[in-house]
Amino acid sequence: LRRAAEAIDRVHARMGEWLRPGRTEAEVGADITEAIVAEGHTHADFVIVGSGPNGASPHHDVSDRVIEAGDVVVVDIGGPIPEGYNSDSTRTYAVGEPAAEIAEAYAVLQRAQEAAVRAVRPGATAHEVDAAARDLLTEAGLGELFIHRTGHGIGLDVHEEPYIMSGNDLPLQPGMAFSVEPGVYRAGQWGARIEDIVVVTADGVEPLNTRPHELVVLPA
């Protein structure tokens, strides 16, 4: 899982090569797919490039929408390495400086994701990790824009137990691996998500993805 995370981090580090105005989501997605294999995966299991209003759909794929200056773009990518274990990581990019409202909401999202990661430890429940992110977003008036669970287990399958969601009182145990991926989605306008894979350790948590969490601003 560490090797898978390192490989997908290398793909995110190259996003500036592909993501720019005038290109379609599908064109960017094709470049990402090629890079996922070049950086050590057997294939790309999924490539989400959600630009502008498409970013407000958490399960968007790619489309023929042309990326425009000012867009916020959600890039969620992953796949298996030869050993069979999977990567899954999301970062959000801005093509040019984002609007103030977006920058402010993103700053809250970044704090929420960090709070959820900090909440991971043996004996904590999946519900408590979800609440760490959800409560912070709710306090900032963004709770209604967080429309999915905080995370899912990962290993030989991309989605497996434990599911990090409200109402799941499963106690976390050392060795469990799962995503921490809160998001905010303003329908018809924009979306943002930050996702790391983390592992429960004997006394806390080890994040496997190490790319910066800030909103990455690319040239417009």
Q: Tell me the residue type at 45.
A: D
Q: What is the mean pLDDT of residues 58-77?
A: 97
Confidence of residue 148 (pLDDT cuts 50, 70, 90): very high
pLDDT per residue over 80-129, tens digit each? Answer: 999 999 999 999 999 999 999 999 999 999 999 999 999 999 999 999 99
pLDDT attached to residue 120? 98
CA-based R_g, the chain, Å: 16
**What is the structure's pLDDT at 198?**
99
Model confidence band, residue 134 (pLDDT cutoffs 50, 70, 90): very high
Mean pLDDT of 22-41: 98
Look at residue 51 and give its three-state secondary structure.
Answer: strand
pLDDT at position 39: 98
Task: Give all domains of the chain, ordered by start, each with its CATH number.
Answer: 1-218 (3.90.230.10)
Bridge-based pairing state of the strands 89-95 and 216-218: parallel
Please give the structure tokens belonging to residue 101: 């409202």
> Which pLDDT belongs to residue 149?
98
Average pLDDT over residues 30-50: 98
Residue bearing tokens 């995966």: 41
Q: Report the chain's mean pLDDT, rounded to a whole number.
A: 98
Q: Which of helix, strand or coil describes residue 74?
A: strand
pLDDT band for 214, please (50, 70, 90 cuts). very high
Residues 9 and 43: beta-carbon distance below 8 Å: no
Q: Which tokens in the block code for residue 182?
A: 């809160």
pLDDT for res 84: 98
Give dist(CA 72, CA 141) in Å, integer. Answer: 20
| DSSP secondary structure string for all residues of 34-71 | HHHHHTT-SS-SEEEEEEGGGGGSTT----SPBP-TT-
| Coil, helix or strand at residue 206 | strand
- Name which of 67, 69, 87 is nearest 77 in CA terms: 87
Entry pTM: 0.98
Strands (E) located in the chain: 46-51, 72-78, 89-95, 151-153, 160-164, 177-180, 183-186, 190-193, 196-200, 205-207, 216-218
Phi, psi of 40 (to 5 degrees): 120, 0
Compute CA 158 distance to the chain's CA centroid, rounded to the nearest angstrom.
Answer: 13
Percentage of the chain lying above the pLDDT 90 cut: 100
pLDDT tens column, 111-121:
999 999 999 99
The pLDDT of residue 42: 98
Q: Residue 177's Cα: distance from chain center in Å?
A: 15
* Sheet with 46-51: strands ordered across: 46-51, 72-78, 89-95, 216-218
